[in-house]
């Protein structure tokens, strides 16, 4: 029995999120079904993190044990042969027994895409949030700068464990202009539930003048007892990468997201150096 790590990409549009459910199509359910056709017998997959309904991934990481005699390249081809068109295994590698994609991670990276237009663009609707009126770039950058560092993010999300801490360390939080909008690039040691989507919604409010920068900074400095209202829609969010080595985290902090999330440009932009 060998132990494997795999990197997955998927379009989350037609899924009820990552986690397997009794009813409804999920990414985990599709991947486990493909593995079972190859003789996989474990009760459940180990994975880096759950994504919500409509959220996409370029670098979801899974781990599993399988009796497979044909090598990692053949395993990748076999899995992809059994997976639907909106999920792909990007790479497979051998790992040590006991490797857990969630607990071994040093950092995670997310991208959030938005475009500015008075009416919707059907070619971006699955992968970006439409905002209007346009955003003030300087305000966006000032709002992002307030996120960096180690702090209590209780205003922006809840921990996986109800008794868990809401303290997280953000290594990078930056907005990059694109042809007709912006992309938010954030790297942290871990994220709270829906934390990135709240980050985005509230920064957009600052950039549109609906929230003052001072209030945003105060929310981060002195979290209120309840979650702040405001949640960006799921379709603009991508789990871009999970980092397991310090040099991977450094690369995440220094690189930029691709211009447009779609038509293959995103997949080509993410390096697979971790495998």
Active site positions, annotated: 52
Per the CB < 8 A criterion, the answer to whether 137 and 151 are in contact is no
Give the whole-angstrom CA distance, residue 265 versus residue 269: 6
Closest CA to 220 of 236, 201, 204, 202: 202
Yes or no: say if 235 and 13 are a contact pair by the CB < 8 Å rule. Answer: yes
Question: Which runs of E-coded beta strand occur in 153-212?
Answer: 167-178, 181-188
Q: Is 39 left (phi over 0), alpha (psi -120 to 50) or beta?
A: left
Closest by CA to 32, choosing from 15, 44, 48, is 44
d(CA 220, CA 214): 10
């Amino acid at each position: 029995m060998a132990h494997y790590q795999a990197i997955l990409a998927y379009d989350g549009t037609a899924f009820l999120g990552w986690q397997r459910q009794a009813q409804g199509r999920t990414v985990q359910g599709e991947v486990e079904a493909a593995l079972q056709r190859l003789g996989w017998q474990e009760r459940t997959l180990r994975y880096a993190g759950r994504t919500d309904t409509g959220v996409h991934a370029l670098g979801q990481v899974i781990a599993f044990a399988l009796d497979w005699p044909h090598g990692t390249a053949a395993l990748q081809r076999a899995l992809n042969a059994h997976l639907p068109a909106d999920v792909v295994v990007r790479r497979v590698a051998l790992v040590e027994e006991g490797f857990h994609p969630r607990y071994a991670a040093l950092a995670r990276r997310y991208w959030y895409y938005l475009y500015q237009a008075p009416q919707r663009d059907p070619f971006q609707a699955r992968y970006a949030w439409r905002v209007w009126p346009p955003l003030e770039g300087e305000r966006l950058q000032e709002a992002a700068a307030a996120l960096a560092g180690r702090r209590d993010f209780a205003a922006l999300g809840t921990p996986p464990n109800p008794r868990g801490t809401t303290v997280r360390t953000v290594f990078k939080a930056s907005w990059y202009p694109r042809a007709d909008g912006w992309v938010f690039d954030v790297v942290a040691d871990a994220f709270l539930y829906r934390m990135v989507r709240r980050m985005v919604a509230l920064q957009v409010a600052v950039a549109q003048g609906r929230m003052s920068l001072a209030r945003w900074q105060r929310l981060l400095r002195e979290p209120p007892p309840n979650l702040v209202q405001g949640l960006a829609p799921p379709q603009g969010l991508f789990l871009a990468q999970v980092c397991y080595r310090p040099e991977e985290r450094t690369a995440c902090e220094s690189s930029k997201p691709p211009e447009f999330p779609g038509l293959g440009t995103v997949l080509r932009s993410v390096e697979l150096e971790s495998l």
